[in-house]
Structures are given as structure tokens and as C-alpha cells.
């Protein structure tokens, strides 16, 4: 049986990527056939490390079965595209994609969500940074076990601290100990954060996750207008009051032309550790309703679980503490959805990426 490129492509077209909704025939980087041995290289535009080996084997088995090849090797490689920021704001070369994680109000788990999404992206193979922009309540130093540390200055720029594969910068590194409040008026706080973003020596980041301050005031609006953001993620709880504030957050991003990638519903369900009874303490269906109302996506629903709080308080967030656990899988699934949505959006022109998405 002769093996041709078209036969291999036909097999790949029968398998669809669950995050891109594209068949793998459209992800081909190269196909080589020699002496009934086939080698295929596919390029994915979102981090996929934990899926990689199983997917490579699945596709290799399918190609071998359908073409009769003696040996098939499928290799996946990652190439994160650079998405376009909001109009009128220039991108920053060392950073491909700035994603802001925001909430209309405090106490909904925004910072916990931000750090776990950053860790998930990093564990899936991306180069990731975290900017803690929550100026009045910086929590990333504690969550990442960096409390009390101070960044070095090199060539008039802050060198971000390293934690669990992340590049990290926080206003909390510069304001003294954890008990020292930041008593700044809006313009000073905004200026400090813009400076912190621009004068940090970020190194070749696929994604920078910005943990935004809660609310929709002057600081949030100015940051959204002056930092090159490619997308926003709204964190809420199901209760009506939180949803009202989440809607304000979505409206704010729309006014500054920043795409809303989706909604994360936190504390959606509590499961009793003793009896297993599930109860929607803060209500049910709120995240789905707001996603439908604003034509965006409900990216995921995370449970109310004391383990999440305990792990972040201890400086070892869930994705790091239990990488193979059920909750970590939820964060990782949300992270992949966000990255895939960005890859499907308009990107900075690149011949291969544009051809791949038919633009």
C-alpha cells in the first residue's frame, strides 16, 4: 500500500482539536514519508503539555491504522501567537499577550483564580509572568511564597522575582511588610502601577497575567486604557450582588475596547466533606446567565472548597500543590480555553498563523 501525504492529511482531518474546534489537518507544520515511515509535526497555538503525549500517540495510531505505515511518529510543538491589544495602545515586545483578571467587587476569588491560571499556563508549557496590580491589597507575594523579598534593579529596571516557573512583580514587594497599608490617592497609585509594568524587565513572555484591583474605578479604567491588553477574564460568584458588579466590569472593558474572553464562576457549589451533600450556597446559574447576556463564554465553575484557601495561604496554590487533582484540572481547562480563544482572535500578522486560520 502506497502512503501519500494526502492520505495522512485525510486521517488528521478526521480528528478535531477540542479547544480550537479545528481539525488537525489544519495544524500541520510538516509531513515526511520515507520507506513506509511517517513523521508528522503539528503546531498548536495554545499550551498543551499534559495532553501532548496521549494526543501524539492517538494520532500516530490512527495514521498507522488507516495508511498501513510501518512506523508513525507525531510530534506536537507550541507556538503562541501574539494577539492584538486594544486599539490605540502599542504592544510590548517582550510580552506577547497581556491578560487581565478582574472582578467588579472584592472577595470573589480573583487573585486565587489569577495565580492558578498563571501556574496552569506555565505547567502546560508557556512562559508566564504575573503582575500584581491590586495596589491596596497585594496578595500574590503571599500566594507564591515571596513575602518579604525585594526585586533587584538592573539597567534602571526591576528584575522580576522567580516563583514556580513564573516571573512575578508586585507592588507588595516595594511597600514594606505585609502589615504596611498603601495610603495613596488614585493618580499616584495609577502612576506607580504603570511604571511598575513598564520598568520591569520581563523576559520573553507568552502571557502576562495581571491581577487587577477589584472594582471599576479610576485606577482600573486608566490601567485598561494604558496597558496593552489582549483580553480580560471576569471572576464572579453566583450571587446576585456579585453578578451586578461583574456586569459593570464587563461594561468597563467594552468601553475601552478590550475583549472579554469569558467569565469564571467561583464558589459555585459546596460539597460537604462529611456527607457529600452538594449545595449551591451562593445561588446557581449566575455565571451562565451573565455569559449569555453579554455574548461571552462561561469558562468554568469552581467549587467552594477550603483546600483552595489553605493552599494559597500556605504559598502553594492548588495547581502547584495538587497538579493532578480535580480542581487543578478545572483551572488547567480554563487556562487552555483562554489561550485557544486568543489564538482564534485577530493576531499580529504572521504568514503561518494567518494561513492556518484562513485569514
Which of 94-103, 181-190, 216-225 has the highest average model confidence (pLDDT)?
94-103
Where does the pLDDT of residue 29 fall: very low under 50, low under 70, confident under 90, or very high at 90 and above? Answer: very high
Terminal CA-to-CA distance of the chain, rounded, Å?
36
CA angle (311 as vertex; 308, 314 as ends), nearest 5? 145
Whether residue 32 has pLDDT greater than 90: yes
Where does the pLDDT of residue 284 fall: very low under 50, low under 70, confident under 90, or very high at 90 and above? Answer: low
The superfamily (CATH) of domain 95-344 is P-loop containing nucleotide triphosphate hydrolases (3.40.50.300)
Give whole-number Cα distances, 11 to 4, 58, 130, 296, 303, in Å: 11, 11, 40, 33, 39
- 238-274 pLDDT, tens digit per residue, is 877 777 888 888 988 988 889 999 999 988 776 666 7
Which helix (H) or strand (E) segment holds residue 7: the answer is helix 5-12
Torsion of CA 349, 352, 358, 359, to 10 degrees: 10
Give the residue-averaged pLDDT of 158-176.
90
- 139-164 pLDDT, tens digit per residue, is 899 999 998 899 999 999 999 999 99
CA proximity to 249, closest of 232, 226, 227, 265: 232
Which of 190-204, 289-303, 328-342 has the highest average model confidence (pLDDT)?
328-342
Least confident span in 177-186, 187-196, 293-302: 177-186
What local confidence, expressed as pLDDT, does residue 151 receive? 92
Whether residue 129 has pLDDT greater than 90: yes
Where does the pLDDT of residue 351 fall: very low under 50, low under 70, confident under 90, or very high at 90 and above? Answer: very low
Where does the pLDDT of residue 283 fall: very low under 50, low under 70, confident under 90, or very high at 90 and above? Answer: low
Where does the pLDDT of residue 352 fall: very low under 50, low under 70, confident under 90, or very high at 90 and above? Answer: very low
- What angle, 0 to 180 degrees and rounded to 10, lies between the N-to-C axes of helices 326-344 and 110-123? 80
What local confidence, expressed as pLDDT, does residue 10 receive? 96
What local confidence, expressed as pLDDT, does residue 132 receive? 93
Domain boundaries defined on the chain: 5-78, 95-344
Whether residue 210 has pLDDT greater than 90: yes
Residues forming a β-bridge with 162: 167
Give the residue-averaged pLDDT of 76-93.
92
Where does the pLDDT of residue 182 fall: very low under 50, low under 70, confident under 90, or very high at 90 and above? Answer: low
- What angle, 0 to 180 degrees and rounded to 10, lies between the N-to-C axes of helices 286-293 and 240-255? 30
Which helix (H) or strand (E) segment holds residue 56: the answer is helix 49-67
Strand spans (E) along 89-160: 95-102, 128-132, 153-154, 157-158
- What whole-number distance in Å separates Cα of residue 318 and Cα of residue 115? 9
Contact yes or no for 149/141 (Cβ under 8 A): yes
Radius of gyration of the chain (CA): 22
Residues in the chain: 359
Task: For the full predicted model, state whether its pTM sits above 0.75.
Answer: yes
Whether residue 181 has pLDDT greater than 60: no
The superfamily (CATH) of domain 5-78 is Fe-S cluster assembly (FSCA) (3.30.300.130)
- Please enumerate in sequence order all residues whose Cβ is within 8 A of that of 143, keeping only pairs 6 or more positions apart, or say none: 111, 112, 115, 312, 313, 315, 317
What local confidence, expressed as pLDDT, does residue 355 receive? 37
- Please enumerate in sequence order all residues whose Cβ is within 8 A of that of 251, keeping only pairs 6 or more positions apart, or say none: 216
Give the residue-averaged pLDDT of 265-289.
71
Which helix (H) or strand (E) segment holds residue 248: the answer is helix 240-255
What local confidence, expressed as pLDDT, does residue 291 receive? 84
357 DSSP 8-state letter: T
Q: How would you class 93 by CB atoms within 10 Å of its CB: exposed for 0-12, middle for 13-18, buried for 19 or more?
A: exposed
Where does the pLDDT of residue 339 fall: very low under 50, low under 70, confident under 90, or very high at 90 and above? Answer: very high
CA angle (105 as vertex; 99, 108 as ends), nearest 5? 80
CA proximity to 188, closest of 208, 173, 202, 171: 171
Torsion of CA 268, 220, 226, 189, to 10 degrees: -130
Write down the mean pLDDT value for the chain: 87
Q: How many CB atoms lie within 10 A of CB 67?
A: 19
What local confidence, expressed as pLDDT, does residue 350 receive? 42
- 214-239 pLDDT, tens digit per residue, is 877 777 788 788 899 999 999 988 87
- What angle, 0 to 180 degrees and rounded to 10, lies between the N-to-C axes of helices 218-226 and 240-255? 40
Amino acid at each position: 500500500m502506497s502512503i501519500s501525504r494526502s492520505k495522512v492529511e485525510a486521517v488528521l482531518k478526521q480528528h478535531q482539536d477540542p479547544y480550537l474546534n479545528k481539525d488537525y489537518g489544519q495544524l500541520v507544520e510538516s509531513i515526511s514519508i520515507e520507506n513506509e515511515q511517517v513523521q508528522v509535526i503539528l503546531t498548536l497555538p495554545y499550551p498543551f503539555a499534559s495532553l501532548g503525549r496521549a494526543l501524539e500517540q492517538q494520532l500516530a495510531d490512527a495514521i498507522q491504522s488507516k495508511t498501513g505505515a510501518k512506523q508513525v511518529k507525531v510530534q506536537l510543538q507550541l507556538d503562541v501567537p501574539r494577539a492584538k491589544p486594544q486599539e490605540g495602545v502599542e504592544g510590548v515586545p517582550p510580552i506577547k499577550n497581556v491578560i487581565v483578571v478582574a472582578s467588579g467587587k472584592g472577595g470573589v476569588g480573583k487573585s486565587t483564580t489569577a495565580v492558578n491560571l498563571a501556574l496552569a499556563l506555565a505547567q502546560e508549557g508557556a512562559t508566564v509572568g504575573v503582575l500584581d496590580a491590586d495596589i491596596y491589597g497585594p496578595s500574590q507575594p503571599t500566594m507564591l511564597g515571596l513575602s518579604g523579598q525585594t526585586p533587584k534593579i538592573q539597567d534602571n529596571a526591576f528584575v522580576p522575582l522567580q516563583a514556580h516557573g513564573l516571573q512575578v512583580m508586585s507592588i507588595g514587594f516595594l511597600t514594606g511588610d505585609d502589615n504596611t497599608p498603601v495610603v495613596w490617592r488614585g493618580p499616584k497609585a495609577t502612576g506607580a502601577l504603570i511604571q511598575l509594568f513598564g520598568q520591569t524587565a520581563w523576559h520573553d513572555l507568552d502571557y502576562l497575567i495581571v491581577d487587577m484591583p477589584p472594582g471599576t474605578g479610576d485606577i482600573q479604567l486608566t490601567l485598561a486604557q494604558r496597558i496593552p491588553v489582549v483580553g480580560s477574564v471576569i471572576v464572579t460568584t453566583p450571587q446576585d450582588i456579585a453578578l451586578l458588579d461583574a456586569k459593570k466590569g464587563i461594561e468597563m472593558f467594552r468601553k475601552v475596547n478590550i475583549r472579554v474572553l469569558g467569565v469564571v464562576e467561583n464558589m459555585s457549589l459546596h460539597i460537604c466533606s462529611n456527607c457529600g451533600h452538594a449545595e449551591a450556597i451562593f445561588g446557581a446559574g449566575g455565571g451562565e446567565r451573565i455569559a449569555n447576556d453579554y455574548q461571552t463564554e462561561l469558562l468554568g465553575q469552581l467549587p467552594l472548597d477550603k483546600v483552595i484557601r489553605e493552599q494559597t495561604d500556605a504559598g502553594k496554590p492548588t495547581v502547584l500543590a495538587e497538579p493532578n487533582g480535580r480542581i487543578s484540572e478545572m483551572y488547567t481547562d480554563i487556562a487552555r480555553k483562554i489561550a485557544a480563544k486568543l489564538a482564534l482572535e485577530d493576531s499580529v500578522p504572521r504568514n503561518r498563523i494567518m494561513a492556518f486560520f484562513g485569514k
